[in-house]
Amino acid sequence: MVTTPLLPSDYLDLVSPLRAGADLRGRIEAVHPETGDAASIVIRPGRGWRGHAAGQYVRIGVDVDGVRLWRAYSITSPTNRQDGRVTITVKAIPDGKVSNHLVREAKPGTLIQLDQATGDFVLPQAKPAKVLYLTAGSGITPVMGMLRDTEFDDVVMVHCAPQPHDVIFRSELHDLVADKKLRLTEVHTDTDGMLDIARLDDLVPDWAERETWACGPAGLLDAAEEHWTEHGVQERLHTERFRPSIVVAGDGGEVTFSTTGKTVDADGATPLLDVGEEAGVLMPSGCRMGICFGCITPLKAGAVRDLRTGEITEAEPGVLIQTCVSAAAGPCDIER
Ligand X SMILES: Cc1cc2nc3c(=O)[nH]c(=O)nc-3n(C[C@H](O)[C@H](O)[C@H](O)COP(=O)(O)OP(=O)(O)OC[C@H]3O[C@@H](n4cnc5c(N)ncnc54)[C@H](O)[C@@H]3O)c2cc1C
Binding-site ranges for ligand X (CB under 6 A): 57, 71-74, 88-91, 93, 95-99, 119, 138, 141, 242-243, 287-289
Pairing status of strand 237-240 against strand 211-215: parallel
Quote the least distance from Cβ 288 to ligand X, whole Å: 6
The residue among 49 and 207 lying less far from ligand X, judged by its C-beta, is 49
Q: Which residue is nearest to ligand X (CB)?
A: 96
The residue among 97 and 300 lying less far from ligand X, judged by its C-beta, is 97
Interacting residues of 247 by C-beta distance below 8 A, sequence separation 6+: 307, 308, 309, 310
The residue among 73 and 207 lying less far from ligand X, judged by its C-beta, is 73
Quote the least distance from Cβ 271 to ligand X, whole Å: 9
Query: Over 170-207, what HEC string results?
Result: HHHHHHHHHCCCCEEEEEEHHHHCCCCHHHHHHHCCCH
Quote the least distance from Cβ 172 to ligand X, whole Å: 16
What is each CA distance from 94 to 37, 83, 97, in whole angstroms?
10, 34, 9
In the sheet where 131-136 sits, what is the strand order? 183-188, 155-161, 131-136, 211-215, 237-240
Quote the least distance from Cβ 143 to ligand X, whole Å: 10
Rg over alpha carbons for the chain, rounded to the nearest Å, is 22
What is each CA distance from 118 to 202, 290, 296, in whole angstroms?
35, 14, 18
The residue among 68 and 243 lying less far from ligand X, judged by its C-beta, is 243
The residue among 17 and 96 lying less far from ligand X, judged by its C-beta, is 96
Quote the least distance from Cβ 216 to ligand X, whole Å: 10
